[in-house]
Structure 1
Amino acid sequence: MKILIILPNWLGDAVMATPAIELLSTYYSSARFTFVGSFVSIEALKYHPKCELAIVDETKRSSNRIKATYELAKKLGTFEMAISFRNQIHSSLLLKLTGTVLCIAKKSWHSMFLLSHTPTIKADKHLSRQYAQLAMINTDAWDKNTPPLKLYIEPKKFDRSTMGINAGATYGSAKRWYPERFAEVAREFSNKYDIIIFGGPNEAEMADEIESYLASSGVTNYTNLAGKTNIKELCSLIGGCSLFVTNDSGPMHVAAAYGVPTVSIFGPTKHTETSQWMNEKSKIVRHDMECAPCMRRECPLGHHECMKSITADEVIKAVKELEI
């Protein structure tokens, strides 16, 4: 059964969609997937054993996106089922233009107009559950259980216990805790773990700050990999970590997919929707505040208290509780 899946754009969202993909894979035993998505989502999910084709959607770069979407649809051809995990008009249009009869996307004005199945999915549950509900909307056989996250990239095997530190968060500065506090946490555990500093190309400056703090504290057993890994390497390295300390971010969900014991620091985002899904060894450090969660890229009040008020000692305590 040929199934077209339009993946979410962000790395973390794509990983949170993997339980839905596993449900589709299980329910439709003959499933053969075609994935269309952003570069990062494709690079993370293209290793699924039932993925026959993985295409990076570059229609946004075209001077005429509608024409580019039409051309991509004709290239893809018709499927027995098509589903979009993106709530975006061009994604709905892409599904429609493939000529596929059974097309599924979350209810919106454009999906209702273009597609056959457009259920209302309430945002009152974890995003992985929302994606699973969407994927299973055409069957009565689903028992409502949502499986764990799943990536098919082999985790790295380190010679020594390793702690990963991820100070970045692509969505915006409001989600980022402070480099000097990450460094304080890393220093506290550097006698037990080698330290890896993670981050994307645009987060190298923060990673360099952490490195500077560690070096000035006499810590030497660290590696700064910010901006130096591709998506496959990033997933593999995180998957091999013994512990992971991170902001709410894509790498946080990668760690969850491998069951890595993780301390996640939340400020402006909804932990009920985007915390680690089904990671038994996961702890959240956050403070209840009247202004949070604001879901903004930058602090609209200018004080960033949701993150500023979280101390290194709180995070260190959470890590120690995971070690018990």
Structure 2
Amino acid sequence: MREKKKFKIGLSDSLLGLLFRQALATPEKKRALSTTNFDSILVYSTTALGDYMFNSPALRAIRQRYPSAKITLVVHPKYKDLITTRDFYDDVLFWTNKASDMFTLVSQAKKRRPQLAILLHSHLPYDVVSAAMAGCQYIVRDNYAKPVGKMNRWLTYGLDEFDEHVIARKMKLVSALGCETDNVAMALPCAYEKQPKAEGVIRIGFQLGASTLVRCWPPEYYAELAQRLIASDSRIEIVMIGSAPEKCLAEALMQHVEPTLRDKITSHVGKTSLPQLLGVIASMDLLVTGDTGPLHLAIALRVPTLSLFVTENPCRSGPYQDKGRHEYIYLPLEDPRVVDEQAPLRAISVSEVFEYVERMLTH
């Protein structure tokens, strides 16, 4: 653990010890956790879109466990337009994970008089601190096998080592509350309208970007794949999706495509709201993507996907439901074909991806 993190944790522990001891974990609380019924609950999912999707089966399980509780979801404000379907929670608060706006979160959360905080995916130590300051007596947290130091004494239950899929981690976490964990299907966070598509068209989506460049397949590879697909079947059209910062990837792809084929490629990169993005994905016959949030949106939409992995193991973050509908290509970092540390997905050839796509379209 870095010294700066240790300092933050030590300071936070001292603050909680002086003013918010109601959140201290005790043997009695640990024994009572699975059988206690709570009236007001905070659930934190303050990281990436893909993380929220992974958390959605646990959100469903929490609602089923506490059908009468007031459940408040805490999410990052960049997903404000997406988090509108509230089947599994009653209200939403927005927080950037930073100390600078933690007191605003605490002020809003205290009005709900929460007793339990479930930290599905959030940042230490301010997640624990904010939950305790809001009045929670019980705190449950997914630690992702990372050291939490003195914060451990504030966790009624903390999940550490558990080397399985992220969704399985979340279900393991909420099982400590007495939740049923059989339903692992991800749930969509908002309503959408499916984008129209002409009859007979085969629409293949390309998600060009990801949270880091090491998770991106090169745009020139996507360009070659687009040309080979369009040449193989006149019914095929290509649709690109992504966020505004990924426009440069779409532009790079188009620069590598023959001018005569460009009218068969449509870019929605940086042009859609998150609900509109769902509508575009829903219209696809197949999505080719790296390990990123839209992959999991497509899985929830029951759209077939071909996902490309090198830096992450798909057994932990790849398709987990409807596995017969999805394929992935995985080369571990230690594979001798992985030679470019800055762009490791270059090791996955266009020919290999093209063969997968052809097989999936005719399956």
TM > 0.5: yes
Report the TM-score when normalising by structure 2. Answer: 0.77
SS for the counterpart of 1:51 is coil
User: Do 1:14 and 1:41's aligned partners in 2 also have CA atoms closer than 8 Å?
Assistant: no
Q: 1:28 corresponds to which letter in structure 2?
A: Y
- In structure 2, distance between residues paired with 1:196 and 1:33: 38
Q: 1:159 corresponds to which letter in structure 2?
A: K
Aligned to 1:56: 94
User: Do 2:116 and 2:138's aligned partners in 1 also have CA atoms closer than 8 Å?
Assistant: yes
- In structure 1, distance between residues paired with 2:88 and 2:341: 47
Report the TM-score when normalising by structure 1. Answer: 0.86
- In structure 2, distance between residues paired with 1:277 and 1:32: 29
Counterparts in 2 of 1:160-199, with a 5 A limit? 160=198, 161-170=202-211, 172-190=212-230, 191-199=234-242
The yes-or-no answer on 1:282 pairing with 2:330 is no
| 1:59–1:10 distance in 2 versus 1, CA, 3 Å | closer
Aligned to 2:267: 224
| 1:14–1:59 distance in 2 versus 1, CA, 3 Å | closer
The yes-or-no answer on 1:307 pairing with 2:307 is no
Cα displacement (A) at 1:155:
4.9
- In structure 2, distance between residues paired with 1:239 and 1:111: 42
249, 268, 271: which one aligns with 2:314: 271
- In structure 1, distance between residues paired with 2:104 and 2:125: 16
- In structure 2, distance between residues paired with 1:211 and 1:69: 43
User: Do 2:97 and 2:123's aligned partners in 1 also have CA atoms closer than 8 Å?
Assistant: no
67, 73, 82: which one aligns with 1:35: 73
- In structure 2, distance between residues paired with 1:49 and 1:39: 19
Counterparts in 2 of 1:108-127, with a 5 A limit? 108-115=148-155, 117-127=156-166
| 1:215–1:49 distance in 2 versus 1, CA, 3 Å | farther
Aligned to 1:79: 114
Aligned to 2:127: 91
User: Do 1:87 and 1:105's aligned partners in 2 also have CA atoms closer than 8 Å?
Assistant: no
Aligned CA RMSD, in angstroms, stands at 2.4
User: Do 1:153 and 1:236's aligned partners in 2 also have CA atoms closer than 8 Å?
Assistant: no
After superposition, the C-alpha distances for 1:29-49 in whole angstroms (9 at most, x for unaligned) are: 234432212134444333233
Q: Which moved more, 1:154-163 or 1:129-138?
A: 154-163
After superposition, the C-alpha distances for 1:87-119 in whole angstroms (9 at most, x for unaligned) are: 52111111111112232113533542333x223
User: Do 2:213 and 2:343's aligned partners in 1 also have CA atoms closer than 8 Å?
Assistant: no
- In structure 2, distance between residues paired with 1:229 and 1:267: 28
User: Do 2:219 and 2:252's aligned partners in 1 also have CA atoms closer than 8 Å?
Assistant: yes
Larger radius of gyration: 2
Cα displacement (A) at 1:203:
0.9
- In structure 2, distance between residues paired with 1:8 and 1:246: 23
Counterparts in 2 of 1:124-139, with a 5 A limit? 124-139=163-178
Q: Which moved more, 1:42-51 or 1:272-281?
A: 42-51
Q: 2:60 corresponds to which letter in structure 1?
A: E
User: Do 1:214 and 1:220's aligned partners in 2 also have CA atoms closer than 8 Å?
Assistant: no
Aligned to 1:296: none
User: Do 2:114 and 2:134's aligned partners in 1 also have CA atoms closer than 8 Å?
Assistant: yes
After superposition, the C-alpha distances for 1:59-109 in whole angstroms (9 at most, x for unaligned) are: 62xxxx27x423421221222432112252111111111112232113533
| 1:120–1:19 distance in 2 versus 1, CA, 3 Å | same
